[in-house]
A and B are shown apart, each in its own frame.
Chain A
Amino acid sequence: MDLAAAQQVVLRLRARLAAAVKGRDDVIELVLIALLADGHVLLEDYPGSGKTLLAKTLGDSIIDDQPDDDIPGFRRIQFTPDLLPSDVTGVTVFDAATTAFSFRRGPVFAYVVLADEINRTSPKVQSALLEAMAEKQVTVDNTTHKLDALFFVVATQNPLDLAGTYPLPVAQLDRFLFKIRMQDVSREAELDVLLTAKERRSGVPESLPRVGRAEVVAARHACHELVHVTPAVHEALVDIARALRADRRVLQGASTRSLVMALPALQARAMIRGRDHVAPDDVDALLGPIFGHRLELAPGVEDAAPVIRECGAPLLERMARLSLQRAAG
């Protein structure tokens, strides 16, 4: 699959998502970037802001081209304090008819998994899911079960109402490629939601084609292989991370893993924009979503965004100057 075909796959997905979820184009793009970059996203927003709809439409838009494997396109796990790890991963049951133990798959066995209110459950359950996210496998009773290659988690949490929750520590947040804080939708978009409520009730119109699971996996592969990343971008990423670690307002900076995860994200964004190379603009746009949730800020510092902006500016400036230099041409 070449880059243009891969871009078409993503654009088809985007069209379906945009038809279902109004006024969230930026969030949709980030979710698609995460899907292509083989990462997972954490959506942080108030109830009723379209998180579930987004995840569900995404799962619904991917055609299950392997009906035999018994893995559905979309599963939702509502996290509660009394949830057990086996409720997520699956459980080994004794079948009286065959007198043998067999593994019953849990809800993580799906293409798109919506982990709703992930901070409401105990750390034990959280880590079970996080293992699945990191390793793409679950281990039950010493038996390891592979998850699907297209395993993609959309987790949500409520920024308010923290009573009785188990906030994810920074180390676990690190497993998510993006933490997306959904902004308030504009007035027009909200109005649009109401106006189109009736037609959207019957789901995304059939005129918008779905994409196959294999197509998504191939697009992912094309994105990794074909989008060029110059050393200048690598240097900028490393230097921004170093600047963030050196900043007084940051207690714990971004991990090396986050840099490794950032590369496919940058490539994915470039591909969605129809480019075959990562540009400074990609770095500029993704700095916030990538690093925002990975920094542990010093006491008294509320917002990571200005810190990231200030640490990134000199490197962005350096990249901008680079392009006018003779050696770059």
Chain B
Amino acid sequence: MIAQIDPAPESRLVAAVRTLVFAAAAGAAVLDIALTAGWLGAVVGTVLAALAAGRLARSRVRLFVVWAGSLIASWLGILVAGWLVDGNAAAWIGPRVALEGADLVRYGVLGMGAVLVLRTTAVRYPVFAVGELIAVALALAGVTAAHRDGAINHPRWLSDWALSTGRDPQHLLLAFGAGTLVLLVLALLRERRGRGGRVLLHLGSAAVLAALLLLLFRVLGPPHPRGGGIGQGAKESEARVKGARNGGGERGAARGGDQLTQLEFQDDYSSKSQDSPVAVVILHDDYSPPLGYYYFRQTAFSQYNGRRLVARTRDDIDRDILTEFPTGRIAVPDAPEGGESRERTVVHTTVALLAEHARPFGLESPTEFVPRDSPDAGRFQRLYDVTSSSLALRYEDLLGRRSSRWTAGAAAAYTGLPDDPRYRELADRIVQTTLRPEHRNDPFAQAIAISSWLGKNGIYSTRSQHAGAGDPTADFLFGDRTGYCVHFSHAAAFLLRARGLPTRIAAGYVADEGRRGSGSTLLLRQKDAHAWAELYLDGFGWIIVDVAPERSLDPPDTPPDPDLQRMLGELARGDPRAGKLPPRPGSGLDLGRIGRWAALGLLGLLALLYAVKLWRLAVPSLAGTRHVHRVAYRAALDRLAELGWRRAPGETRERFAARLGAVAPALGELTREHIGRAFGSTLLAPPEEMLRLARTSTREARQAAPFWLRLLGALDPTSWLRTR
């Protein structure tokens, strides 16, 4: 009934769109890794391949040959590119041309091969069209890969623009993802050759889905980085698996309710996703630590369990460690005296937690915690103010103090260590060999001696082989002395305890003072988690005895992105201008203005559409004999189009009328008169008859349509555009 139309032009359009998508995906994929020539090569290669692939797929070439050919061609391309750069070619054509040429060849051939393989496979076996879509989606997603690990200021081209216009880049990225999703769904439907109306319906559902996603994001907030800590949090299970593989040393040692706050010896502590920010600390006072590092104590481990130090089980020790977040202002028990003194200075800080933590932490020696409302609850899990009494004097001033405050029980807890005479022997030897006699019984001098000995003789590495030993600390200390902070802090603690000094291990975060730069914000990342030993001095409190190994097998630490640090700090402060630049005067890109104009233009367009619709509806009764046959018929067609009935392309008007014969019988007569006028008939109906026929056929059609369809049709400003 409906005439088939030639599919050629439509499929050409689809081919063009597909080629464009491929080119865009290829360009996006290599944008960050290729030179301009390489980018050009990738785009041109994919376009050529997309054009050739359709023909290739319809030829008799076996799919296997296409795959093998593409692989070999890609391999050859990489070889040629390598030869251009490394071989003699660079000498002849110059380094610049060689580099650009190599990129051109490499990415051109790779793009061409990939598209040839994907496209031919998809044409031969339509189900594999999904492969194309996945490739395109991955390429587009790759553009935003820099945004991982909480780096909300990347990729710069997107984030900078978003921030300069006052938007949250995460929303933009989400919109980007949602848009990609819609495109993918659309492309999938296109592959299924759905009919126009269906495609619209599915597209609409996809858009609703994307909008829901955005709404969900709005309500639930952005995804949070995983909690940090040394062998804590999310890394726990990973560590256990590794421990089991390495001989089952630590298996199950840290189970139970307190597992988030236990130290673990791990053979492989390195991890890839440690760049995620976990917290932001804002310093309200200009405090410069004498040690050069800001220490944030979250928890402490004091009791020896036969293998290592674990969290307290007694009530009389480590009372300065809070076990839960404060609900109101809380003064830390057993904290050093508040207020300014010679040894300590008061520092006010605000801590904003990006990741979930089991307990609060604050700048070393906190005296008071005050919870606060988060300015951005979606981003910051918790926010609290900390008042700390931080170290303000030089180490020399700590000499000559005793550490005898503790009761017998507490002192025993603070001095428990493995029953191994080697600790005492080593500790004695270090003290004997490095300290002058008058200092040999001074607690702080001994601590300095032992930590600097460990720093000199230890080797820092996140990969070691001690976790399987019965006493990992002894295995480390009397073995290769290679390990990371857990090993070093245990070694320092046990050596000090061997000298009878009350010592514990504290864990939390540490940040280099230099990182702060000229700002007052410190960004703490997962990899900033640290453990250190602490010594108790009468009249002062716990003093940090951190070992700084002079040799390291690991690459040096990279500081966090200062932009990200600053931006998160501003967000945590609740600064309304957080992360945003002031609007540039005269930049011309005033979005509000553009939006208003766009809205106005849209309204104008809408009004114009309605005006034309009404005019076309009303004009038959105004038209004279010359035009009534045309405009009356057109008005009837408009009303039919409102209800969704329209002539198919290539269908004659008579056939269309016959198709609607059951719905609107009068349309046949109307069509006949209309065609007669156009095709030279001399027997024409009078205008009144035409108007009557047009009205009758419209009425008949409207009677056959449900109310909601009539309503929608009447409201639709574009219905007349669909009249054919």
Q: How far, in whole Å, are A322 and B678 apart by their CA atoms in the complex?
A: 8
Q: B678 — which chain A residues lie within 8 A by C-beta?
A: 230, 322-323, 328-329
Stretch at the interface among A35-43, A105-113, A273-281: A273-281
Contact with A280, one of B6, B634, B649, B654 (Cβ below 8 angstroms): B654
Q: How far, in whole Å, are A309 and B1 apart by their CA atoms in the complex?
A: 12
Q: B627 — which chain A residues lie within 8 A by C-beta?
A: 326, 329
Stretch at the interface among A182-190, A254-262, A311-319: A311-319
CB pair B4–A313 under 8 Å, yes or no, is yes
Q: How far, in whole Å, are A217 and B241 apart by their CA atoms in the complex?
A: 102
CB pair A320–B652 under 8 Å, yes or no, is yes
**Residue of A whose beta carbon sits closest to that of B6:** A310
Q: How far, in whole Å, are A317 and B724 apart by their CA atoms in the complex?
A: 9
B566, CB-defined interface residue at 8 Å: no
Tell me the residues in window 268-326 of chain A with beta carbons closer than 8 Å to chain B beta carbons.
275-281, 284, 306, 309-310, 312-314, 316-317, 319-324, 326
Q: B679 — which chain A residues lie within 8 A by C-beta?
A: 228, 230, 232-233, 277-280, 323
Contact with B653, one of A309, A320, A329 (Cβ below 8 angstroms): A320
Q: A316 — which chain B residues lie within 8 A by C-beta?
A: 3, 650-652
B655, CB-defined interface residue at 8 Å: yes
CB pair A313–B6 under 8 Å, yes or no, is yes
Q: How far, in whole Å, are A278 and B627 apart by their CA atoms in the complex?
A: 20
Distance of A234 from chain B, by nearest CB (Å): 12
Q: How far, in whole Å, are A230 and B651 apart by their CA atoms in the complex?
A: 20
Contact with A276, one of B647, B649, B683, B724 (Cβ below 8 angstroms): B683
B680, CB-defined interface residue at 8 Å: yes
CB pair B681–A276 under 8 Å, yes or no, is yes
Number of B interface residues, CB 8 Å? 30
Q: A310 — which chain B residues lie within 8 A by C-beta?
A: 4-6
Q: A278 — which chain B residues lie within 8 A by C-beta?
A: 679
**Most chain A CB inside 10 Å of its own CB: which residue of B5, B629, B677, B680:** B680
B674, CB-defined interface residue at 8 Å: yes
CB pair A281–B630 under 8 Å, yes or no, is no
With A309-B4, A313-B3, A317-B649 in contact, do A277 and B654 touch (Cβ < 8 Å)?
no
Q: How far, in whole Å, are A306 and B7 apart by their CA atoms in the complex?
A: 13
B375, CB-defined interface residue at 8 Å: no
CB pair B681–A280 under 8 Å, yes or no, is no
Number of A interface residues, CB 8 Å? 30
Q: A323 — which chain B residues lie within 8 A by C-beta?
A: 630, 653, 674-675, 677-679
Distance of A56 from chain B, by nearest CB (Å): 33
Q: How far, in whole Å, are A230 and B676 apart by their CA atoms in the complex?
A: 11
CB pair A279–B654 under 8 Å, yes or no, is yes
B587, CB-defined interface residue at 8 Å: no
Q: How far, in whole Å, are A163 and B684 apart by their CA atoms in the complex?
A: 55
Interface of A is mostly: helix
With A275-B676, A314-B650, A328-B630 in contact, do A306 and B681 touch (Cβ < 8 Å)?
no
Contact with B6, one of A277, A281, A314 (Cβ below 8 angstroms): A314
B650-680 to A contact mask, C-beta < 8 Å, 1/0: 1111110000000000000000101111111
CB pair A329–B681 under 8 Å, yes or no, is no
CB pair A276–B682 under 8 Å, yes or no, is yes
Q: B193 — which chain A residues lie within 8 A by C-beta?
A: none
Tell me the residues in window 683-703 of chain B with beta carbons closer than 8 Å to chain A beta carbons.
683
With A281-B655, A309-B4, A314-B6 in contact, do A329 and B630 touch (Cβ < 8 Å)?
yes
Q: B683 — which chain A residues lie within 8 A by C-beta?
A: 276
Contact with A329, one of B626, B647, B655 (Cβ below 8 angstroms): B626
Q: B4 — which chain A residues lie within 8 A by C-beta?
A: 306, 309-310, 313
Contact with A279, one of B626, B630, B634, B676 (Cβ below 8 angstroms): B676
CB pair B676–A277 under 8 Å, yes or no, is yes
Q: A230 — which chain B residues lie within 8 A by C-beta?
A: 678-680
B1-41 to A contact mask, C-beta < 8 Å, 1/0: 00111100000000000000000000000000000000000
Q: A324 — which chain B residues lie within 8 A by C-beta?
A: 630, 633-634
CB pair B675–A280 under 8 Å, yes or no, is yes
Distance of A119 from chain B, by nearest CB (Å): 32
Q: B680 — which chain A residues lie within 8 A by C-beta?
A: 228-230, 277
Q: How far, in whole Å, are A229 and B681 apart by their CA atoms in the complex?
A: 9
Q: B651 — which chain A residues lie within 8 A by C-beta?
A: 316, 320
CB pair A313–B650 under 8 Å, yes or no, is yes
Distance of A298 from chain B, by nearest CB (Å): 17
Q: A321 — which chain B residues lie within 8 A by C-beta?
A: 724
Distance of B360 from chain A, by nearest CB (Å): 75
Q: How far, in whole Å, are A309 and B6 apart by their CA atoms in the complex?
A: 9
Distance of A82 from chain B, by nearest CB (Å): 47
B320-332 to A contact mask, C-beta < 8 Å, 1/0: 0000000000000
Q: How far, in whole Å, are A319 and B652 apart by their CA atoms in the complex?
A: 8
Q: A326 — which chain B residues lie within 8 A by C-beta?
A: 627, 630
Q: A281 — which chain B residues lie within 8 A by C-beta?
A: 652-655, 675
**Residue of B whose beta carbon sits closest to that of A233:** B679
With A278-B679, A329-B626 in contact, do A313 and B653 touch (Cβ < 8 Å)?
no
CB pair A317–B655 under 8 Å, yes or no, is no
**Residue of A whose beta carbon sits closest to that of B625:** A329
Q: How far, in whole Å, are A219 and B630 apart by their CA atoms in the complex?
A: 32
**Most chain A CB inside 10 Å of its own CB: which residue of B5, B647, B679, B680:** B679
**Residue of B whose beta carbon sits closest to that of A279:** B675
Tell me the residues in window 224-248 of chain A with beta carbons closer than 8 Å to chain B beta carbons.
228-230, 232-233
With A329-B626, A329-B629, A329-B630 in contact, do A280 and B674 touch (Cβ < 8 Å)?
no
Q: B724 — which chain A residues lie within 8 A by C-beta?
A: 320-321
Q: How far, in whole Å, are A278 and B724 apart by their CA atoms in the complex?
A: 21
Distance of A318 from chain B, by nearest CB (Å): 10
Q: How far, in whole Å, are A321 and B652 apart by their CA atoms in the complex?
A: 10
Q: How far, in whole Å, are A93 and B652 apart by their CA atoms in the complex?
A: 57
Q: How far, in whole Å, are A276 and B4 apart by their CA atoms in the complex?
A: 29
B624-647 to A contact mask, C-beta < 8 Å, 1/0: 001101100110000000000001
Q: How far, in whole Å, are A319 and B675 apart by their CA atoms in the complex?
A: 10
Q: B675 — which chain A residues lie within 8 A by C-beta?
A: 277, 279-281, 323
Distance of A18 from chain B, by nearest CB (Å): 21
With A280-B654, A280-B675, A320-B652 in contact, do A275 and B681 touch (Cβ < 8 Å)?
yes
Tell me the residues in window 566-603 of chain B with beta carbons closer than 8 Å to chain A beta carbons.
none
With A309-B3, A316-B3 in contact, do A277 and B681 touch (Cβ < 8 Å)?
yes
**Most chain B CB inside 10 Å of its own CB: which residue of A228, A232, A277:** A277
CB pair B6–A284 under 8 Å, yes or no, is no
Contact with A228, one of B629, B630, B681 (Cβ below 8 angstroms): B681
Q: B674 — which chain A residues lie within 8 A by C-beta?
A: 323
Q: B653 — which chain A residues lie within 8 A by C-beta?
A: 280-281, 320, 323
CB pair B652–A284 under 8 Å, yes or no, is yes
CB pair A329–B652 under 8 Å, yes or no, is no
Extra A-B contacts (7), CB below 8 Å, given A276-B676, A281-B675, A320-B653: A228-B681, A279-B675, A279-B676, A281-B653, A314-B6, A328-B630, A328-B678
Q: Chain B residues in contact with chain A, CB under 8 A?
A: 3-6, 626-627, 629-630, 633-634, 647, 649-655, 672, 674-683, 724
Complex A-B, nearest 3 residue pairs according to Cβ-Cβ distance, in ascending order: A313-B650, A281-B654, A323-B678
| A-B pairs with beta carbons under 8 Å apart, 22 shown | A228-B679, A230-B680, A275-B672, A277-B676, A277-B680, A279-B679, A306-B4, A310-B5, A313-B650, A316-B3, A316-B651, A317-B649, A317-B650, A319-B652, A320-B647, A320-B652, A322-B678, A324-B630, A324-B633, A328-B630, A328-B678, A329-B630
